[in-house]
Amino acid sequence: MAANVSRRNFAKLFAVGGSAALLADPIFAREMAAAGDILPAGPSAGEPFWKSVREQFVMPPDLAVMNAANLCPASRPAAEALSRESKSVDTDPSPTNRARLMPEKEATRVALAEFLRVTPDEIIITRNTSESNNMVSNGLDLKAGDEVLLHEDNHPSNLVAWQEKAKRFGFSVVVVPQKNPHPGAEYYVEAFTKAITPRTKVMSVTHLTSTVGDIMPAKELAALARSRGILFLLDGAQSFGLLDVNLADIQPDFYSGSAHKWPCGARECGVLYVNKSAQAKLWPSVYSAYPGAVGFSKTFESFGQRDEATMIAMHEALTFQSKVGRAAIEKRSRDLTTQLMAGLAKIPGITNWTSPVAERRVAVVSFVPGTLDANKLATALYTNDRIGITTRGGKDRPGIRVSPHFYNSPAEVDKLVAALAKYMKSGV
């Protein structure tokens, strides 16, 4: 038990007649975690601080996984909450035990709203970004003659989804070409401005691309959409939990995210933000029981039986990230990206797809490892060097993709760069 759990809680512990009952209480568990000194210093302490952050992940210290754009490990507080809460429901599935989960779901909504700097009335708890994006493309009244404007570099849940629904509902999809390397915010603002017509009803943009880590000018494009009466969806799969996102500033109509990526929460939990001004325009995709308790969730979030354990885990993940510091997390990932880019630039034969301009990219770096087979290289890095990265197949900027997050270290980036230099010389 954490050393400085308050006297009040010790009193509570004995008052309820045993530690088991109290330890099953998530609010108490959260207070205990906050009371414990899991992060003894702040980011200004440098590497010792980041080492203590890394210790809040169960990944062994010798395993350097830099694949956050795909899947992050749950932080220890999130993983512990997930198993504690799952066990609690399986141990005692009585309505009385489960009744406490509804307030926990609402507490998660409040935490999400604080994290994104909006109101709980605008938060829907979903399964993931895919579901959130599809709830927007399913839920808007679009018809023949309407246009949806996107850029090329969107995930299937935000590109193929629109194209398939266009076939069904008769609207059309207009795609703004992506330029590589990132040509700067002005290019996209101009390209979207030129592509808007009186028929444009929706603009959909990915905040940070999963392909090469391009930061899209979300705020400028949201303002452009708003000024033309166009709805604006911002796909936040790669920005939620990485960038210090402020939706009150960006002001999109919709924003989507997944807990299992950069927030380091549980798998199968996500968020859909729906701006108050857009709520009347979005039909629910699912009608069932157990709606949320506030705002839009009362009519939009009747998704039937849910797994509250994943939601509580997401809440813990957000609390942990806030404790580390949102701005510090973003800076850490930016610094590791810059270090990686500098290291790659020194290796002869590597062609980088990711922008060399620091302001235009973050945390997702894709490159061609010369003539090396990317799959064999990834296997060698994992098997020989304990480094986990991913490959990009197909014709669109294929090669290797590396996505470091705040649990990675400069030493891990150095190790990756040294291993790459070795294989580029020796082959795999």
Contact residues for ligand PLP, defined by CB under 6 A:
128-130, 155, 157-158, 206, 210, 235, 237-238, 258
Query: Cα separation of 87 and 66, whole Å?
Result: 31
CA angle, corner 85, sides to 79 and 91, nearest 5? 130
The answer to whether the CB of 400 falls within 8 A of the CB of 390 is yes
The answer to whether the CB of 136 falls within 8 A of the CB of 343 is no
Identify which of residues 235 and 308 has a Cβ nearer to ligand PLP in the complex: 235
Residue 73 DSSP label: P
Residue 375 DSSP label: H
Question: Residue type at 208?
Answer: L
* Sheet containing strand 350-352, strands side by side: 350-352, 365-369, 399-402, 390-392
CA angle, corner 207, sides to 206 and 209, nearest 5? 65
Query: Cα separation of 59 and 406, whole Å?
Result: 13
| C-alpha radius of gyration, the chain, whole number | 23
Identify which of residues 237 and 380 has a Cβ nearer to ligand PLP in the complex: 237
Identify which of residues 147 and 235 has a Cβ nearer to ligand PLP in the complex: 235
Q: Return all residues near 300 (Cβ < 8 A) that are at least 6 apart.
A: 124, 274, 279, 282, 284, 291, 292
Number of other residues whose CB lies within 10 A of the CB of residue 43: 17
* Minimum CB distance to ligand PLP, residue 204 (Å): 11
* Minimum CB distance to ligand PLP, residue 1 (Å): 35
Identify which of residues 22 and 365 has a Cβ nearer to ligand PLP in the complex: 365
Question: Alpha carbon of 332 to those of 46, 260, 265: distances in Å?
Answer: 10, 19, 19
Tell me the pairing of strands 172-176 and 147-151.
Answer: parallel
The answer to whether the CB of 383 falls within 8 A of the CB of 346 is no
Identify which of residues 38 and 136 has a Cβ nearer to ligand PLP in the complex: 136
* Minimum CB distance to ligand PLP, residue 236 (Å): 8
- Which residue in this structure is represented by tokens 């020194």? 346
* Sheet containing strand 200-206, strands side by side: 123-126, 270-274, 254-258, 231-235, 200-206, 147-151, 172-176
Identify which of residues 88 and 337 has a Cβ nearer to ligand PLP in the complex: 337
Identify which of residues 53 and 72 has a Cβ nearer to ligand PLP in the complex: 72
Identify which of residues 22 and 237 has a Cβ nearer to ligand PLP in the complex: 237
* Minimum CB distance to ligand PLP, residue 410 (Å): 25
* Minimum CB distance to ligand PLP, residue 301 (Å): 17
* Minimum CB distance to ligand PLP, residue 210 (Å): 3
- Buried b / exposed e along 45-63 (16+ C-beta atoms within 10 A): eeeebbebbbebbeeeeee
* Minimum CB distance to ligand PLP, residue 227 (Å): 25
* Minimum CB distance to ligand PLP, residue 49 (Å): 29
* Minimum CB distance to ligand PLP, residue 138 (Å): 15
Identify which of residues 88 and 210 has a Cβ nearer to ligand PLP in the complex: 210
Identify which of residues 48 and 177 has a Cβ nearer to ligand PLP in the complex: 177
* Minimum CB distance to ligand PLP, residue 140 (Å): 18
The answer to whether the CB of 293 falls within 8 A of the CB of 104 is no
Q: Look at residues 272, 267, 271 and name the one whose alpha carbon lies nearest to residue 313.
A: 267
* Minimum CB distance to ligand PLP, residue 127 (Å): 8
Identify which of residues 85 and 235 has a Cβ nearer to ligand PLP in the complex: 235
